[in-house]
Amino acid sequence: MDKFKCMYCDREFESYDSMRRHVSRTHKINSQKCYVDYYLNGEWPTCKCGCGEKVKWNPVNGSFREFVQGHQSRVANNWGHNKKAIEKSAETRRQQFANGEREVWNKGLNKDIDDRVANNGKMKSESFTDEQKKEYSDRMKQMWKNEIITPLTGSAHSQWNGGSSTIQQIARGSKKHYETWKYPILKRDNFTCQHCGSISDLQVHHDDIEFSEVIGIILEENVDLANSEWFEDKKILADKVMEYHVEHNISGITICKKCHCELHPCYNL
C-alpha cells in the first residue's frame, strides 16, 4: 500500500487525510496549502476560463474549484453568445420597465445615503482587473453600437426629477448668479476659503438651504413650467431660482473646491 509522506517532517501515513490532519495540527498549515504543496507542486490553481485569477478552495470535496464564480459562462454559455436571445432579453426588460413590472432597485439612491450602493460600487471597482475593465468597456460599446442598449432620456429615465439638474446648471452658469449672489459673498469673505484659507479654486457653498431645495420650491410654485423639456422654460425657472436667492437673502460661504467636495462628496462640482 502506498504511504503518504509528510513534506515538512518526513513522517509517513496510511492515508492522505491522516497526513493532512497531522500537517494541520503539527505544522499549522491549512488544507489548501497542504493540497497545493502535495499535489500541485506549490502552484495555486487558476480559473479554467483563462483569466488568471486564483480559484477558491471547496471544503466539501477537499479540493479547488475549477472556475472563479461566474466565469464558467465564459467557456460554456449557450445563451450568452446567442445574439437573438440577448436582443430578446433586452427588449423584454425594456418593456417590463416601461409598464412597471420591473423597477431599478437603486432609483433615487446614491452612495452617501445608502450603504448598499456604496458597498456595491466599491466591491465592483476593487474586483475589476485592467483586462476585465477593457473587456467590459468593449462589450458595452458593441452593445450600444448594435442598439441592444438604447438611451433613456427625459421623463423615461430612472433618475428623472423634472429636469432640475438642467435648471441648476443654467442657474449656476448665469451671469445673474455670479453678479447678484456669488460675487458679493466672495467679496465679503475677502476671496478666501473660510475653511482652510486657500485663495484658489474658490466656490460658494449654500450653508443654510441647499441649491436643490431652492429649485424644488421654484418648481412647486411654477407647476405649469415644471415638467417642460423646453430650454427656454428651464431658463425662466433658472432666473426665478436666482431671484429667490436675492429676495430671500440665501446664506452662502466662500470655500475652495477641495473643501466643497468634502462637504458634498456625491456632487460633481
Average pLDDT over residues 145-166: 59
175-213 pLDDT, tens digit each: 888 888 888 999 999 999 998 898 888 889 888 888 888
Lookup result for grid cell 421623463: 155
Of 158, 153, 175, 154, the closest CA to residue 235 belongs to: 175
156 phi, psi to nearest 5 deg: -80, -15
Statement: residue 104 has pLDDT above 50: yes
**Which is higher by pLDDT, 74 or 215?**
215
Question: 201 and 256 in contact (C-beta within 8 Å)?
Answer: yes
222-257 pLDDT, tens digit each: 877 777 777 777 888 888 888 888 888 888 999 998
pLDDT for res 157: 52
Question: 219 and 226 in contact (C-beta within 8 Å)?
Answer: yes
Average pLDDT over residues 85-103: 83
Q: Where are the domains of the chain?
A: 4-73, 78-150, 164-263
25-51 pLDDT, tens digit each: 999 988 888 999 888 888 999 988 888
Rounded CA-CA distance 116/111 in Å is 8
**Percent of the chain at pLDDT above 90?**
6
- Dihedral (Cα; 26, 27, 32, 34), 10-degree rounding: -90
Statement: residue 158 has pLDDT above 60: no
Rounded CA-CA distance 66/69 in Å is 9
Under DSSP, is residue 37 helix (H, G, I), strand (E, B) or coil? helix
| Residue 79 pLDDT level (bands cut at 50, 70, 90) | low
Statement: residue 1 has pLDDT above 70: no
Lookup result for grid cell 473646491: 257
pLDDT for res 78: 58
**Percent of the chain at pLDDT above 70?**
89
pLDDT for res 269: 39
54-64 pLDDT, tens digit each: 898 887 778 88
| Residue 152 pLDDT level (bands cut at 50, 70, 90) | low
pLDDT for res 156: 54
Of 64, 66, 77, the closest CA to residue 38 belongs to: 64
Question: 265 and 253 in contact (C-beta within 8 Å)?
Answer: no
Statement: residue 20 has pLDDT above 80: yes
Tell me the pLDDT of the chain averaged across its residues.
81
